[in-house]
Amino acid sequence: MMNRSKPIDVAILGATGAVGQRFIQLLEGHPWFRVRELVASDRSAGQRYERVARWVLPGNPPADVACLDVLPLDADLQSPVVFSALPGDIAQAVEWRLAEAGHIVCSNASAYRMHADVPILLPEINAAHADLIGVQREKYGWGGGLATNSNCTAAPVAMALAPLRQFGIEAVQVVSMQAISGAGYPGVPSLDIMDNVIPYIGGEEPKLELEPRKMLGALQDGQVALLDCVMSATCTRVPVLDAHVVSVSVRFAEPVAEDDIRGAWESFVGPEPVPGLPSAPLRPVVVRTQPDRPQPRRDRDEGGGMATVVGRLRPCPVIQGWKFVALAHNTVRGAAGCSILNAELLAERGFLA
């Protein structure tokens, strides 16, 4: 594992938004990375972070970050690592340019997730996809590279399914109950969600039906082959602050015993060097045995918010397979935390200049 004499500087794009703030919070006291540059829209650029950011997390922003001046989107960044929490449309131009300019860009934006040469990294399940950084360098002559993390709901789905790949995943049905923080800030109006469920999230279901197939796919000859399975998703918003819950039904190629599934989850670990990375949870998949778990408020912080918690495993007579409930913290494992873990992997793999 890396033993660095000095910290690696990182920049955060979209630093004033909800996910940008989560990056800042999670990077406080990080053993390798140090937040040195904050980038946001022109409205905020040129001002001190603490003046322009409406901090929506507990407490106040860390003092050493609060006093930084916010840089504009076209700034000439110095940090080798760039985390992006930009909206998809803005991310498109900015992230490509920064990868070209030599930065390792770890992005939470959706812009490049399905690009053939860009991985959706979830290190425990597809660390090998990091090889696409090499493909990028060769193909585009980049000094840097670009890796994304998945949609926040796709993360627990892919993580819970990864240990089960060995059984031949054929079909997956998902109904999600998603937290309000997934919509950013100001995001969901309280008048819409209090005492209510909104059974629709714009653009979410197609992502959930596609991204896990890429994450779970195999990298061959510099290309990721989508996992060959059919997926169906229904996404809903519920009055919960953090953590997306998914009710999953899965059909396998052949009969699988309950103990085999449970055992696969409990023994699941990422490949080296993932388990030793600073942000990797002790166990990527945690199995709850109580009948009424996992629950967002009680399980979202498992493994520092980086674990996927599963439970309620039982047969599904309709899909002729199994069904279970899973959850993960949507702004940690499903967003900023995953991007940071991705950057740790890329640093450890030696992709930093």
Residues that bind a copy of itself (CB under 8 A): 18, 56-59, 171-173, 175, 177, 180-181, 185-200, 202, 230-232, 234, 236, 238-241, 245, 247, 249, 251, 291-302, 311-312, 316-319, 323, 325
> What H or E segment, with its residue span, contains residue 208?
helix 204-215
The single residue of 103, 229, 235, 244 carrying the catalytic annotation is: 244
**Residue 300 Cβ vs a copy of itself, minimum distance, rounded to whole Å:** 8
Nearer to a copy of itself, 238 or 269 (CB): 238
Cα(330)–Cα(144) distance, rounded to whole angstroms?
27
Comparison of 99 and 188: residue with beta carbon closer to a copy of itself? 188
What is the C-alpha separation between 266 and 260, in angstroms, rounded? Answer: 10
CB of 21 to a copy of itself, least distance (A): 11
Given 152, 229, 235, 338, the catalytic residue: 152
Q: Considering beta carbons, is residue 136 or 181 the nearer one to a copy of itself?
A: 181
Residue that is written with structure tokens 């937040």 in the block: 35
- Which DSSP symbol is given to 136? H
CB 189, min distance to a copy of itself, A = 4
Q: Strands 145-148, 169-178: parallel, antiparallel or unpaired by DSSP?
A: unpaired
**Structure token digits, residue 292:** 């009424």
User: Phi and psi of 160, rounded to 5°?
Assistant: -70, -30
Cβ contact 81:4 at 8 Å: no
Provide CB contacts within 8 A for 318, sequence distance 6+: 249
Q: Which is nearer to a copy of itself, 65 or 71 (CB)?
A: 65
Q: Say whether 152 is catalytic.
A: yes
Instruction: Retrieve residue 71's tokens.
Output: 């840089």
Catalytic (active site) residue 106: no
Min dist CB 135 to a copy of itself, Å, is: 31
Q: Which amino acid is at 236?
A: T
Residues assigned a catalytic role: 152, 244
